[in-house]
Amino acid sequence: MNLRYGVLLLISAALFGTAKAQTTPDFTKTSKGVLYHIYKSGDTTRIKLSDVITFNFIQKTDKDSVLTSSYANGGPVKIQIQPSQNVGDLMDIFPLFNQKDSAIVKVPTDSLFKGHEESRPPFLTKGSYLAFNIKIERVQSLADAIAERNAQMQQLKDAEASAITKYVADQKLNATTTLSGLKYVVTQPSIKAKPAKGDTVFVNYVGHTLAGKVFDTSLEPVAKMSSVYNPGRTYEPLKLVLGEGQVIQGWEEGLALLNEGSKATFVIPSSLAYGERGMSDDIRPFTPLVFELELVKVKHPHKAAVAKKPVKKTGTTAKKTPAKKK
């Protein structure tokens, strides 16, 4: 009985070893020592210099430990193919692929960390490779990619204008609109003076999207309630100098409209905020923002007293002419 099982185990091990050998890919080696293997071919659209490619990837160590992945990071990567700057940018490798190709790429870590070994992490030992599983999703010419992006940006821009109009209507805001497109409602008026350029202002604020998601605030209770609380932060009115570009343009314009001690709601279009770049997952390109602001205090800069210039005395004095006696 034991002999039979022993023979079966030997046969199974032999078959497994043969299968493993057959599935081991044959890699091609580049002049820079990078290994690659295309295990699933796509179409005939070859990647060229200056093309824009969209691809997914999984980055692993030699021991198959996943380091990062486009699938886990929210979506595929889009880059333009340019002359290679270093072996790790894969710019010499991408032109070897076609659209829809799936490939394994192994970059020698010794080349990656040549000249700065102190940066090598312990899990990338000498002689090891940094592996990439790559799927080329799409290949575009630069002109086509730019045209597509411009069309997408215009759609987002058009959608933003409609979203702002709907928000103001839904919230029943009797808003004033400035020439720049800033909309505001003073919710607590004040008769104190307005700040001027160069004044230091202290502002409490709550910033949220049109959907109501709070992304930043100077008020600790609001931060805790909105799950944006940072225990390492001091929650107090924000101090800034008006007119020095320390905040977004919508704030610069809006604060100058308020009197000290007043409160207001501002609906700020993306053109006065973070524009087509966006800033975060909450503030995407062409995202309008809503701020509840309180102008707590205005501090005017001290003006140095101007010293009076002394009157210069001339070196000559008028001679008195004695009156003649008659």
Active site residues: 205, 215-216, 248, 274, 291
Extract the tokens encoding 149. 């992006």
Instruction: Provide, for the chain, the percentages of residues in helix, strand and coil under a 3-state DSSP scheme, each rounded to the nearest 5.
Output: 25, 25, 50
DSSP state of 268: E
Place of tokens 């609906």: 267
Helix (H, G, I), strand (E, B) or coil at 260: coil
Beta strands per DSSP E along the chain: 28-29, 35-40, 52-60, 66-69, 77-80, 102-108, 129-140, 176-177, 183-188, 200-208, 214-217, 238-241, 263-268, 289-299
Contact between residue 130 and residue 40 where contact means Cβ atoms under 8 Å apart: no
Q: What is the spatial distance between Cα 101 and Cα 34, in angstroms, rounded to a whole number?
A: 18
One-letter amino acid for residue 310 of the chain:
P
Contacts of 286 (CB under 8 A, 6+ apart): 153, 156, 157, 159, 160, 270, 275, 276, 278
What Cα–Cα distance (Å) separates residue 4 from each residue in 7, 10, 15, 146? Answer: 5, 10, 17, 68
Cα separation values, 39 from 61, 70, 78, 92, 99, Å: 19, 19, 22, 19, 13
Q: Which two tokens stand for residue 306?
A: 């101007």
Helix (H, G, I), strand (E, B) or coil at 201: strand
Rounded Cα distance between 234 and 267, Å, is: 26
